[in-house]
Amino acid sequence: MNPAHIIRECLTNRDWGWVFSRRDRGQFYRSRRYTLRRGFGLSLIWQQDTSVEAFIARILDHIDATLLIDRRTGLWELKLIRADYDPQMIRYLTRPTSSDWGRLGRRAAADLINSVTVRFTDAWTDDPGAVSVTDTARVQTMGEVIATTLEYPGIRYQSLAVRVAERDLRALSAPLLSGEIVVNRTGADLAPGDVIRLRSGPTSACRCGYAHLRDRPGRRARQRHPAQDRRGRLCSGLHRHGSEGRCPQARVSQFHTSADATDG
């Protein structure tokens, strides 16, 4: 089933869902069309052993997306974290537009993953399956295999599991910039998943995760948690299994990274 349809049902079902009727139909349609075109279908059973919120979070983990209420329209939006932006149209944030720009850092080399295993559910046997992908160039650089295993039980086909494993490997193997900035009212309309550029020395493109208003003496400031984009369009030199073409991009999302997927 299309993940956008699953989430829509969770939001609107009158028997077990959240019974919300206000959603951005156009935005949900675009997300539905994208996942349909990419062949990104999921098969999951919600057995009421967890909350609807936890079930939606699991779907979002599968498709690498964020669900939010637009502050201007009051409508639910499903925003896929993808390379869907024009690099020339990204907004710049500079030190003059920020009242606090600190705690920015990159992952240490020891924290970079160079091999990812994805566990899925085989559609034909209904048994667990697994696929692994490895960044061989980074393994040679680091001198060891640093692996992690991710559970995506809603994926039913090996080909999709491989694409998702490659997506997550690109995200986990990059030394992304992350941190926290506080901006003035120029950033008041930023929302989770929006793309920005941080200009202070070398330019970095970032995506927004969460934000909140915080009182400051004499004004209100908006706190943003940005993290470097892992698979954005600006990283066009990134190869399938190599470590080349890394470039400074980031998203603002809980000031951890959230990737711009080119697959999945």
Task: Please report whether residue 242 resides in a domain.
Answer: yes
Task: Please report whether residue 264 resides in a domain.
Answer: no
Judge if 101 and 213 occupy the same domain. Answer: yes
Judge if 152 and 57 occupy the same domain. Answer: no
Judge if 65 and 91 occupy the same domain. Answer: no
How far apart are alpha carbons 131 and 119 in whole angstroms? 7
Residue with tokens 């710049």: 92
**Global pTM?**
0.76
Structural domain that includes position 20: 3-80
Judge if 138 and 203 occupy the same domain. Answer: no
pLDDT digits (tens, 9 = 90+) for 221-250: 444 455 555 543 322 222 222 222 233 333
Judge if 43 and 93 occupy the same domain. Answer: no
Of 252, 257, 250, the closest CA to residue 225 belongs to: 252
Instruction: Note down pLDDT in tens along the chain; length 264 residues.
Output: 999 999 999 998 888 888 887 777 778 888 999 999 999 999 998 888 889 999 999 999 999 999 988 888 888 889 898 877 787 788 877 777 665 766 777 888 888 999 999 999 999 999 999 999 999 999 998 899 999 999 999 999 999 999 999 999 998 998 887 777 777 777 777 888 888 887 765 555 666 654 443 333 333 344 445 555 554 332 222 222 222 223 333 333 332 333 455 556
Task: Please report whether residue 261 resides in a domain.
Answer: no
Task: Please report whether residue 263 resides in a domain.
Answer: no
Task: Please report whether residue 122 resides in a domain.
Answer: yes
- How many domains does the structure of the chain reveal? 3
Task: Please report whether residue 259 resides in a domain.
Answer: no
Task: Please report whether residue 260 resides in a domain.
Answer: no
